[in-house]
């Protein structure tokens, strides 16, 4: 599990829900002790800010495919924007 610091408000609901006692609040932010975390995902479900995310390993080819797809979509969007600009002149 991973805490998204930009979303965490330090409400403590995740601390209360964690059966392993792996979560604490420090400097108004949740912190997960990865050595204690049993990956039960209760914190994921309870967080009202959706600040806790599950880290999942990704295969190199899947990542490469995603990046390629995003690059293509970006190129397509840039082309469409340029076409709109040309038509509006």
Residue 57 pLDDT grade (very low, low, confident, very high; cuts 50, 70, 90):
confident
Give the pLDDT score at 56: 83
Q: Percentages helix, strand, coil for the chain, rounded to the nearest 5? A: 45, 15, 45
CATH code for position 15: 3.30.70.20
Contact 47/15 with Cβ under 8 angstroms?
Answer: no
Encoded tokens for 10:
């330090």
> Which tens digit of pLDDT belongs to each residue from 3-36?
999 999 999 999 999 999 999 999 999 999 999 9
Q: Which domain holds residue 41?
A: 1-56
Phi, psi (rounded to 5 degrees) for 2: -140, 140
CA-CA distance, 7 to 5, in Å (whole number)?
A: 5
Give the pLDDT score at 10: 95
Contact 51/25 with Cβ under 8 angstroms?
Answer: no
For residues 87 and 45, membership in a common domain is answered with: no
For residues 12 and 48, membership in a common domain is answered with: yes
For residues 42 and 66, membership in a common domain is answered with: no
> Which tens digit of pLDDT belongs to each residue from 42-53?
999 999 999 999
């Amino acid at each position: 599990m991973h805490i998204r610091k930009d979303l965490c408000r330090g409400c403590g609901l995740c601390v209360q829900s964690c059966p392993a006692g792996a979560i604490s609040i420090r400097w108004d932010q949740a912190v997960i002790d990865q050595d204690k975390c049993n990956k039960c995902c209760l914190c994921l479900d309870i967080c009202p800010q959706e600040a806790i995310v599950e880290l999942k390993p990704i295969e190199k080819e899947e990542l490469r495919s995603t990046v390629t797809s995003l690059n293509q979509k970006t190129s397509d969007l840039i082309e469409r924007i340029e076409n709109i600009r040309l038509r509006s002149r």
